[in-house]
Amino acid sequence: MTPSTAVHAGPGTGATDARIADRPVPGVAPPATDQATTGRRTPTGPVASRLHAASARSRSLVQSVAQHWRRSLQFRTVVATMLLTSVSFVAVGGFLSNQIAGALYDQRFDQFSAEATEELTRTKAVFRDSSATDSDTTSRLVLDSVEALVSLDTDAPRHAILVPISGNVLIPTTVSQQGVTASMLPPDLQDTVADSPDIHWAPMTIPVTESGATNAPGIAFGTQVQLPPDQASYALYVYYDLSAMQTTLDDIHRVLWLAGVVLLLVIGAIAWYVTRSVVRPVSHAASVSEKLAAGQLQERMEVRGEDEVARLGVSFNHMAGSLQDQITQLAQLSQMQQRFVSDVSHELRTPLTTVRMAAEVLHDAREEFDPVNKRSAEILFDQVERFQDLLADLLEISRFDAGAAVLEAESVDIVQLVQHAIDGARPLAERLGSDLTIVAQGTRCIVEADARRIDRILRNLIVNALEHGEGKPTEIHIACGPEAVAVAVRDHGIGMTTLQASRAFDRFWRADPARARTTGGSGLGLSIAMEDARLHNAWLEAWGRPGEGACFRLTLPRTQGTALTSSPLALPPPPAVAGPGPGPDPSAHDIPAERTREPSEGE
């Protein structure tokens, strides 16, 4: 008679876990989940301090790991390698463990099934052929039969248990192992055996085995038997203790885990060594490139061997040498150009002074000339003045290029400087028909600055706004903040595009080359203004929209040495009523719409 399955169709149809208890013999039952504790108090005092310290250490550790992950290619490679290797080990180890457990279980199941079938069939025949006529004889027969089913095989001990099925109990439950009860048998198996005379099996859990193991896995086989003298139905079971097999499987698991950990560490060390041999030259190249960028053009990579990294080092050094030669040539050419401009400017001062004196004589006597010569004398005087202004600007630019410009900072009132610049530009404004208006948030604002250079910046900005303002009003906005002062010159003329705003401070650059200058400027005014602003560690920014005008904003730190972080004036500033105001507007801080330079790291 072949045993049928109460719960499982046959061996190997259970879960894929490596534990015998789950293939389908259950192992250690999972612990019950603890219930949530209500009314828990929040830790205070020393406990809270320790928890806070532990939380701070955890955050610091996570931040450190995240920083290493972002900044270290070697750390990222080693960690990724170990993680992927761990996943591979878990997958391969799980597969191997499942195969080993399956093979171990399948091999013994056929043996257990054959033995149980034979023993249960034999015992059923003994009960059927028995001539017992009273309960004592039947009890002795049952006890002897149950004891005969016991097998103390060290690999899988076998025990038996007889359980009454009907309510009329002549023989009580009889067991071969002390402490065993019928409650440990699977309920599904008991129901199936009670309904069918065939042999059935199911996995089970043995609370305590003879070896002392608790919740050990096992497998039970059962069938119906009829006991004399009244042929009452009983259920006879034999079950096998598989704790020894589970121990063997646990030992295999421990070996697999230990081998996996050792192999993981070995692979991690190999990955660290290999990545170090590759990343170290790259890191060295990055360090050398940073030094080259800092101006240390003599730095080179150390080359060893003839591999790809060595060829990279040779190519890098060749590139660095070429860059050094080109930078040196450019530096020499720049010095020659600067020296040429400076020397020519200085050499032109003497003959230009002589020509100017002659032009002034002719200009003063122009009333005695005929109309043609009179106009020629006026043009000569104007162009000599323009030439002298251009020469002065060239000398100033050469001083900036040579690094000879010195800031002479003192406490000045920015409002007075703006008023002085407006007074100087008022004749041009009257000639062009443009109104100059001051929009201030205060009547006085003290700042540490070089008054001569700030006045030159303001004059250049105001003259530029008048020249391109097409006779429309021009506003000069002043705002004074706790750490910075801003002056914005806003016109409503032809305006300019974003690209033009980004090039407004280039030397000799003009937004419209075909447009004639009304003031005869040199084309260096805004460039000099930018250099003066940089000397103050200030921001000089431009904004423009075609047809809507342009705006130039100067932002100065109130104290020299203070890094700018924001401007107290928007770019462009919002329309406001002219005249002194009540004070700084806290909402006026603004990020510039168009910057003509990138702020330094401190900004």
pLDDT at 54 over 90: no
Residue whose C-alpha is closest to residue 458's, from 432, 488, 479? 488
**Nearest Cα to Cα of residue 145 among 163, 134, 161, 166:** 161
Whether residue 470 lies inside any domain: the answer is yes
CA distance 112 to 24: 14
CB atoms within 10 A of CB 70: 9
DSSP codes joined into one string, 19-52: -GGGTTS--SPPPPPPPPPTTPPPP-THHHHHHH
Residue 45 Rama label (left phi>0; alpha psi -120 to 50; beta): left
Percent pLDDT > 70 in the chain is: 82
Kindly state the average pLDDT of the residues 437-456.
86
**Is residue 31 pLDDT above 50, yes or no?**
no
Alpha-carbon Rg for the chain, nearest whole angstrom, is 49
**Can you tell me whether residue 389 is helix, strand or coil?**
helix
Tokens of 563: 């890094």
Residue among 415, 85, 496, 51 at smallest CA distance from 268: 85
Residue-level pLDDT at 3: 59
Residue 230 falls inside a structural domain: yes
Segment 388-414 shows an average pLDDT of 75
Domain coverage including residue 166? 131-243
- pLDDT tier at 21 (50, 70, 90 boundaries)? very low
Which residues fall within 8 angstroms of residue 287, CB to CB, at 6 or more apart?
A: none
Residue 421 · residue 529 · CB < 8 Å: no
Interhelix angle 525-535/371-401, rounded to 10 degrees, is 30
Q: Is residue 281 part of a domain?
A: no
Q: How far apart are CA 197 and CA 174, in angstroms?
A: 20
User: What is the Cα–Cα distance from 142 to 122, expressed in whole angstroms?
Assistant: 13
pLDDT (tens digit, 9 = 90+) per residue, 237-271? 999 988 888 888 888 888 888 988 998 899 989 88
Return phi, psi of residue 546, to 5°. -60, 130
Of 243, 260, 288, which residue sits at a domain end? 243
Rounded CA-CA distance 62/80 in Å is: 17
Find the mean pLDDT for residues 540-568.
89
Evaluate whether residue 69 is within a structural domain.
no
Q: Indicate whether 355 belongs to any domain.
A: no
State how many domains the chain has. Answer: 2
Q: Which of residues 243, 258, 284 is at a domain's end?
A: 243
Is-above-0.85 flag for pTM? no
Q: How sure is the predictor about 602, in pLDDT bands with cuts at 50, 70 and 90?
A: very low
Strand-pair partners of 200: 4, 222
Instruction: State the CATH number of the domain containing residue 196.
Output: 3.30.450
Longest CA span, the chain: 167
Question: Does the residue 232 lie in any domain?
Answer: yes
State the CB neighbour count (10 A cutoff) for residue 252. 16
Instruction: Report pLDDT digits (tens) over 311-327.
Output: 888 888 888 888 888 88
- Element at 236 (helix H, strand E): strand 232-241
The pLDDT score that the predictor gives to residue 424 is 86
- Give dist(CA 296, CA 218) in Å, integer: 77
Report if residue 502 sits inside a domain: yes
Tell me the C-alpha distance between 339 and 401, whole Å: 10
Of residues 71 and 144, more confidence is placed in: 144
CATH of the domain at 446: 3.30.565.10
pLDDT digit string, tens, across residues 56-79: 888 888 888 888 787 777 888 888
pLDDT, mean of residues 508-528: 62
Looking at the domain assignment, is residue 171 inside a domain? yes
Tally of CB atoms within 10 A around 290: 11
Integer Cα distance of 407 and 561 in angstroms: 12
> How far is the C-alpha of 524 from the C-alpha of 509, rounded, in Å?
8
Q: Is the separation of the CB atoms in 245 and 211 below 8 Å?
A: no
User: What was the pLDDT predicted at 404?
Assistant: 67
